[in-house]
Every structure is written in C-alpha cells, then in structure tokens.
Amino acid sequence: MVGISTSNRQKYNVIRAFEAGWGGVVWKTLGSQVKNVSSRYSSVNFGSQKIMGFNNIELISDRPLAINLKEIKETVREFPDRAMIVSLMADNYREAWHTLIKQVEDTGAHGIELNFGCPHGMIERGMGAVVGQDPEIAKMVVEWVMEAATIPVITKLTPNVHSVVPTGLAAIQGGTDALSLINTIQSVTGIDLDTLVPNPNVGGQSVYGGYCGPAVKPIALKFLSTLSKNPQTNKVPISGIGGITTWEDAVEFILLGSSSLQVCTAAMRYGFRIIEDLCEGMSNWMDAKGFHSIEDFRGKSVQYLTDWEQLDLNFHIVANINQDKCVHCGLCYIACEDTSHQSIFKVDGNPYNTYTINEEECVGCNLCKLVCPVDECITMVEKRKGDENINWIEYQKRGLPLNDH
C-alpha cells in the first residue's frame, strides 16, 4: 500500500488524495492543543532543482481535537476501502494515551501511528523525538498504548539517533504491531544573507526544524536497512518514509524491506496525482522483472548489504570513455586531476581536447562517471586483480602487502 502523509491534514485534503487513488492516509498528529507559528517552511534548492530538501517547524495539528475526530469518522464512512491511520502524540502519562486512543478508535479508524520522532517543539512536554531517543521510555509508552488499543499500532521512529535498532527493538518488546521510519531530521536549511536570520524566519528568529524530501532518502534507506537486517527488528512490518518521489524510489524502499510506503513532501511539491506514476511505473517494472506481487521482491536487496571488511579486495574496475559519445567538456579530467588520482590523459586538440583513461593509475572510484553529463559515455569495466575472492580480514591474516591494492 502506498499511503499519503501530507502536512495539512483535514478531511478536504484526504478526500482529494483518495479520489486521486491513494491507498490510505496517516492523519496529521493529534494530541494536546497547540498553536503553530508563521512562517513554518523552508527548503534547500540545488541548481535548478527546487526543494531538494524541505524543512518545517510545524507542530502537531492545531485544529480542535473534536473537529479532527469528527472528520476522521466521516472520511472512514465515505471511503471504507481505504486505510485510515491516525498519528498520535499524547502527553507523557498513561491516562492521556488511553483517553486519546479510545477517542480515535470510536471514529472507526483502522490503525494508530505513534509519533516518536518529531524533532522540534513538544520537547518540554517529554514528547516527540525525546521519546524516540530513549528506548526505555519508548517501550514504556508503547506498553501504555497496547493496554488500550484494539486496532493495529505502528511506532514511528526518529532518525536523530546513532541507530534506530535499540528504539525499534524496544517498541517491539512493548508490543507494537509495526514500525515506520524515518521521521524528519533536525536541521538548519540556510540563512538569509540580507537579514542574517536562519530560515524559516518567525519575526526575526528561527529554530531547528525537521528536514525531509529527496535529500533525506539515502539516510532513510540506511536506517530502514538496519532494521531489515536485524533478526530482532525485521519480524514486524515496516512502513518506509523519507524522500519517496518516483516509482523508482518506491521500489528501492520495498527492496530494502518496506511493507508499505508513506509519501508527504513529494505530494506537497507536485500534488496528489503523482500516485499515478508511482503505481504505473512500479507495475511496469514488476512486469518486466516477472514479479507478481510486492512480496516477490520485498527485502531482496538486503542480502547484498554487508560490512566493509567483508568486501572483495581483488574486485577492481577501471573507467572507459566512449569517444563517440564524449562531448569533450573536460569535467571528468578536471575532477580526476584536481581531486582524485590523475588517471585521465588530456590531449590538446583543435577544435577540441580528447580524454583517455590511464588504466594503471585508475582506482575505479566512479568519480569521472558521476560527473559526466552524458549517459553511458563513461562506463566502468571489470579488471580483477586476482581470481580469488579475498576480504580485509583474510588479507590481514595472511600478512599481504597493502600497496598491492
């Protein structure tokens, strides 16, 4: 299931999402009444790419709880075939959680997501990331929740930790039915060089915000894979979150163990109709690969992630430049000459220079391929240094010379 998790959660938005084809929704976090500030969003752009990263300092829903509960109930009744998950962040004591869960279950919602990850605000109340950063507190709160909940419970983890495994394991021990990650990453997205105030500007001041969007996808995939690789935490379903924009992104999260997906920033950037590309693209890819269901490929890439010391030191690649595709821009040469291994020859010419690889010096770092603006112009060719697969541990045991590699 691909679910929508947009920032402005109200019935109008949810209905628009469902009409566009989304399979479910995570309703914006409910809890104690708050008041949000203005402004509340900022972004990081890169070149012509708008909103490469997105930042918010918005708290939980500032709409009255009664209105949210009324609209959730109405939406469930109008769209009984879509998943309705309600995000919660109650005050940090048992009775508050029990009361809020009872109110949510009375709406007919299908599940609850515990917000243990909001990195800004609510800290003074012992809520949000402060819970997700302490496994013992997280386990205690999950246990409180499971005492009252009769519908499935998902625990949403914070990435503002060294590892999500301890908190994920604690939530499982507390009885959670599933995990989701990542929540946003604490950040400062930039500073207005005229006013000198960091963004977003709230009357001449700012605070650390929650970072999300395409820029956080690699971090989300790393944290996801650590849960998927761990036999103690991969026993429950995991909902993947963090920078999912295209169908390729969605496939990657599933390949690393996600059972479901949540999308927020991309919908805010492009609108709800991106679900069409997500579904059609993934379906076409599955057909091409011969996969009939999500379970046919879920987690298949986890096996290829290992520890550095297990990598084959005899595996070696070198760059190759296709002269027919080369546009003679020289970017590969500049990158290699200035910051890498000086393994590209430049021959001055008229009307243009030509570039070739010095295979003896090339270490196969991929830098030239990454900076090249032409697809498939630079490829990496395997040139093994030995038939044997030998890793760092075995290399040290044998006392082999380091300068061979």
Do 177 and 236 meet the contact criterion of CB atoms below 8 Å apart? yes
Q: Radius of gyration of the chain from Cα atoms? A: 25
Query: Does 118 qualify as catalytic in the annotation?
Result: yes
- Conformational region of residue 243, where left means phi above 0, alpha means psi within -120 to 50, and beta covers everything else: left
Helix (H), strand (E) at residue 68: helix 65-78
Do 265 and 211 meet the contact criterion of CB atoms below 8 Å apart? no
Q: In DSSP terms, which residues pair with 246 in a beta bridge?
A: none
DSSP strands (E only) in 78-162? 83-89, 111-115, 153-156
Residue where the block lists tokens 């000198």:
196
Q: Is 284 exposed, middle or buried (0-12, 13-18, 19+ CB in 10 A)?
A: exposed
Choose, from 118, 212, 362, 372, the residue flagged as catalytic: 118
Helix (H), strand (E) at residue 41: strand 41-46
Q: Which residues are catalytic?
A: 118
